[in-house]
Structure 1
C-alpha cells in the first residue's frame, strides 16, 4: 500500500477516489490514489520519485475494463484534458495525438483535414493510450496499420519514443514495456476527401449502433475472437445469449458484450464471463480469452 507523503505534483492527487463513475460498467471499488497529471513532465517527475514498489495503473475512458470490488491499490493515473488533443502533422497526412485523446476526436480531426485511413478509430471506445497498448481495431483495420510511433513515460519516469516496429504488435496485444504509460502517438493516413471520410465514419457509427448495445452499461467487446472463429457466435451456440448472474447479463443484442442491467457488482460481471467461458469450452472445445482487462482486488 502507498504510504504518504507521495511525491509533489502540479496536477491533482485524490486519495480513496471512486472509480465506478469513471468506468463504463459503473462498478468496482476505489483507487487508493488517483493522479491526474498537469502534463507529461508532471507525470514523469512523479513516477521518477515514486517508490518503485508502488503499483501504477493507467486509466483511459474505462471502457474495456472491470475494476474489482475491492478497488485498486497504489496509484491510478488518468490522463485528462492536458493530454487530450489531435493535431495535423506538418506533412498533412499524419496526426499527433495525446494519450488521453478519444478515438472519436482523432478520426474527426482526420476527417476535417482530409486524412483517410483512420476512420475505424471512430468505433474504438477508448483513448489513444489504451488502443495503442492493446492494438485496438475494428472493421478490418487495427492500430498497427496506422501507428508511426508513440511516446511513453516508463515506470522509472524516463520518457521514450518507440517506433511501431518496436511494439511487437499481434492481435489485441503489444510488447509495450510493463508499466509504460502512452502519453502521445503519431498516426499516418493518406490524402482523402473529407466528405467521403465523413460518410465512412457515419457508416461505421450506424453499423455499431445497429449491432451493439452502446447505450448500456457495458465494457465493450468481452472476449477476443479465437483464430478461425467469432467469439459472439461461439457464445450464442453455447446457449449464453441473455444469460444472467444477479444484475449482470450477456447482451441479447450482441452476446460478446456483458451488461450491468441494474446493480451488478464487478464480481458478478466477472463470474458471468467465466461461466460463459466454461460453457463455450464445453460446447465447442474453444477456450475464450478475455479482451476486457480485469484489475484490482476482490472485496
Structure 2
C-alpha cells in the first residue's frame, strides 16, 4: 500500500499485489491471460518467445553475478602466466554465450562488473584469436603431438575441468573443451554435485573449475576473492598470491573517496588481466516483461540501458514512480 509520507513523495499507485506461482510456466500463463501485469525471470529462458495479447514492455538487464573459469595456480602447469594468457586468448566467450545459453548473458572481462562505477571500460581482454593462441603455446614450447594434443617434452597439455551438474554450466564446460581441443589442448570435463564442487574448490583439489559468484552488490570489494590471505581455505580458490594485487585491494577497501577507490580498482583490473589467474566468462541477464500500460519504470528509459540489477529485488528500485497509463472516454447522445 502506498506510503503517504514517503520521503520522495507519495507513490502514484495506491497498491501493488504480488502473486506467487509454483512454476515459471504458471506465471507466464497468468501474464498471457491478463491475470497479472508483469513477470521477471533470471536468465529469461521462459520469456524469450512469450507473446502477450496486447502490447508488451520488455526490459533486459545484466544481473550482479558472473560465471568464471578458475585455474589452480598451486599446480606447476598453471604457474606459467603465458600459458594462462594463451588459453584466455584461445577462448571465444561470445560464441559460448550464443551456442550454449542462447545469448542470455554478456561477456565479462574482469571480476568487476562492466558498467559499474568501479569498472574501467578501457581495460578489456583482447578479442579471441585461436591462431595467435596457438602461436603463443608454441612460443613456450608446447608443440602438437601425433594426436594433435600439444606436448612439451614428456608434459602433455592436458587437464581436468571441474564443474557442477547445472545444465547450463555443463554445456559451457563441454563447449570450452571443444574450443581448446582445436588449438591442441586436451580438457576432460568432470561434473560433480554443487556441494562437492564447493568443497574441492575450498581445499584446492582441482586443476581448473567453472563456478559462479552471485550478489556482487554495488560495491565489488573483491578482497575476499583475490587477496593472498584468502588463498588457503578462503574464497581465493585460484591460490593467487601477488604483492601488487594485495596492496591495491587493501588500499581500495580503506579509501573513503569514490574516485580514488575507482582508480585503485582500475589498477587492480589491469594487473589481474596481466596475471590471468582465471577467465571471467559471462554475466547473466535478467528479463522483465510487463504489459505496456505499466509505465514510469526508469529501467525502460534508454538512458538507463545496461544498468546492473543488484539482486532480483532491485527491479522494484523505482516502484514509487510506477503508474498505470489510462485514458477517459466521454460518451453521450449527439443532439
**TM-score category (smaller protein):** under 0.3
Structure number having the greater helix percentage? 2
More strand by share: 1
Q: Larger RCO: Structure 1 or Structure 2 (Cα < 8 Å, ≥ 6 residues apart)?
A: 2
Bigger Rg over Cα: 2
TM-score by length of 1: 0.25
